[in-house]
Structure 1
Amino acid sequence: MRVIGKKSASYFLILLCLLLVSSCSSYRKRSTENRTYRPQAYRVEKGDTLYSLSWRYDINLQKLAACNGISSPYTIYPRQLLYIRRCLKFNKNNNMRAKEKVKDKKNKINRKKNIEKSKNEDQVTVLSSWRWPTIGRVARLFNTGITGSKGIDITGKKGQSVYASRSGKVVYSGSGLIGYGKLLIVKHSEEFLTAYGYNSVLLVGEGDSVKAGQKIAKMGVDNEGNARLHFEIRRNGKPVDPIRYLPKKGFKQK
C-alpha cells in the first residue's frame, strides 16, 4: 500500500508540473501574439503609404521617415526597402545629446510652464476642435494592456454615417492593414492623426481634405459581424485615449 501511495503522489506531482508549464507557455504565447510585430525591414507593396506603415508598426512617422532618409511629403514606391526595427532607436541627433542637456533652473521652470500650457491647450482642444465620429454607445474602451485596444469601439447600425472628428487631410484610404477592415487615416496636424476602421464604404480618398463633421464613410462590421466603428487618435505617433479629447456630451458607454 505504501508503494502505491508513493507512485500516486509522484504521478500527481508530474501532472501538476506539466499543467504549470503548459499554462506558462500559453501565457507567453498570448503575450507574444498581442505585441506589435516589427520586422527588420519591409518591402513596400502597392497601396502602402508611410502613414499606414507607421500605424501598422507603431512607429512615429517622423522617426520612420528620418531613419529611411525620406522627406515630406513622405512618398514611397512599390518594391522599396524600408528599415523598420532599427527606427525604434533611431535619433538623428545622437551626436548632439551632450550639448542638448539642459541643467539650468530657468529651463526647468519653462518646461513646467509648457506642461501646464499643454494641459490647458488640451482642454481647449477637447471643448472646441474634436467631434464624435459617429452616433452610438462605446462598447470597448481604450486600454494599452497586452490584450487591450489602441482606440475605442462605437456600436451602431451597418451603413450609418461616419464623420471626420476634426478637419484634416486623408493620408490613407484602403484595406491593407489587417484587423481594421476598410480604414481611413486622417492627418490633422504634425501632432495628431485619427483612424476610422470597420467601414463598409469609404467616401473619401488619399489626398482629400475633410472638414470636422464631414461624412467620410459608412459603418461596417467587425470580425465577429457586429456593426461598429473602431476609432483611434494618435499623438506624435502614440495611441492616446480618445475619450480625453472628445466632448463629454455624447459619451455613452454600453
Structure 2
Amino acid sequence: MRSMRLPHVLVACIAVVLLASCGRSHVVREGGSSRPRSADSPVRVSQPKYGATVVVQRGQNVYRIATENGLTALDLALWNDIPPPYTIHPGQRLRLYPGAQGSVAARPATTPPKKPAASTTAPPRTPAPTPVVVPATSKLAWRWPADGNVVGTYAGGDPTRQGIDIAGKAGQPVRAAADGVVVYSGSGLVGYGELVIVKHDDQWLSAYGHNRARLVNEGQLVKAGQQIAEMGRSGASRDMLHFEIRYNGKPVDPQQYLPTR
C-alpha cells in the first residue's frame, strides 16, 4: 500500500499565502525516511476553550493557530467546518471548541442528559452535497513536476488516491508544475512527509510530497520548471513524488492536465 493511502481525516492543514521571503529553506531527512512514532510517544489531545474564538491574522494557518491554543489542527478544522485544503483568510473568526456538529469532542456534562421525548415526526432529510464542477481545461500551462514512471494513479472519490505517484531516485529534482507562490513548505501534514504546496491562482493548487529536501520558503514566487525540492521517501516506503492538483480545494486527476509524454 502506498503511503498516501490514508483516511481523509488524517490530512491536517494547508497554509494561506504568507509574506515573501528572500531566504531558502533546505530541510533534509537523514536516511531518507521519516522515523515512526514510538509506542511510548504521547498523543496530543485538544483541550477545547468553550466560548473562545480567534480572528485569523495575516500569515497564520490552521496548524499554527491550533498549536498556539493547545489544539490539534484536525480538531480546529472540523470544529469550524473548514474543508480541504484547509485554507483560512485574514479576518476570519474561528471557534476553539466544538459546535453542535463537532465530531471530535463534546462539552463535558455536569448532569446526566435528559432522555428526549418520543416523537413521531420524521427528522428532516439532509440535502445531498452539490457535486464539484471541474472544468475540462485549465488556462495554466501545466508541466510534469518530475521525471519517472507513474506508479500510482488518481481515483475520483477515493480519499486514499487523490493524486499520482511518480517513481524516481533520491535527490532527483522536483519542479513547480506551473507559475505560482509557495503557500506551504513543511512536514506537518501526516502522510505527506516533506511537503511543498504552490498556489497558482484563486482556483488552482498543486502539492508535492515525500521530498528529501524542500528548497523554497512559504511566500516565495516560483516559475514553472523551477526546482522546488529534492525527491525522497519521507513518509513513504520508496523514493517517489506524490503529486496532486486541486481545483477550488478539491483533488482532480493530474494526468488530465499534464501534457502527454
TM-score, scaled to structure 2: 0.54
CA contact (8 A) 1:169 1:188 kept: yes
1:221 equivalenced with 2:239 (yes/no) = no
Question: Quick one: structure 1 residues 145 and 205, their matched pair in 2 at CA, closer, same or farther if it must change by over 3 Å?
Answer: same
1:36 matched residue in structure 2? 8
2:170 matched residue in structure 1? 158
> In the TM superposition, what whole-angstrom CA distance separates every residue of 1:181-239 from its partner, at most 9, and x where no partner exists?
10001111110111100100111111111001101111002545311100001110111
1:187 matched residue in structure 2? 199
CA contact (8 A) 2:153 2:164 kept: yes
Deviation at 1:50, TM superposition (A): 3.8
Aligned mates of 2:200, 2:209 — CA distance in 1:
17
2:86 matched residue in structure 1? none
1:84 matched residue in structure 2? 77
Structure number with the higher helix fraction is: 1
- The count of residues paired between Structure 1 and Structure 2 equals 167
Aligned mates of 1:215, 1:154 — CA distance in 2:
16
**What are the residue-to-residue correspondences of 1:164-183 with 2, within 5 Å?**
164-183=176-195
Deviation at 1:35, TM superposition (A): 3.6
> In the TM superposition, what whole-angstrom CA distance separates every residue of 1:116-153 from its partner, at most 9, and x where no partner exists?
9x54xx1554xxx1110001110000013547311000
Deviation at 1:167, TM superposition (A): 0.6
Question: Quick one: structure 1 residues 201 and 134, their matched pair in 2 at CA, closer, same or farther if it must change by over 3 Å?
Answer: same
Question: Quick one: structure 1 residues 217 and 89, their matched pair in 2 at CA, closer, same or farther if it must change by over 3 Å?
Answer: closer
Query: After TM superposition, where is structure 1 displaced by more than 3 Å over at least 4 residues in a row?
Result: 48-52, 67-78, 80-83, 86-90, 144-148, 222-225
**What are the residue-to-residue correspondences of 1:202-241 with 2, within 5 Å?**
202-221=214-233, 223=235, 225-241=237-253
CA contact (8 A) 2:16 2:59 kept: no
Structure 1 unaligned regions, length at least 5: 1-32, 43-47, 53-66, 93-114
1:3 matched residue in structure 2? none
Identical counterparts, % of pairs = 41
User: RMSD across aligned C-alpha pairs, in angstroms?
Assistant: 3.5
CA contact (8 A) 2:154 2:164 kept: yes
CA contact (8 A) 1:34 1:146 kept: no
CA contact (8 A) 1:222 1:228 kept: no
TM-score, scaled to structure 1: 0.56
**What are the residue-to-residue correspondences of 1:89-128 with 2, within 5 Å?**
118-119=135-136, 122=137, 124-125=139-140
Structure 2 unaligned regions, length at least 5: 18-52, 84-91, 93-132
Aligned mates of 2:160, 2:14 — CA distance in 1:
26
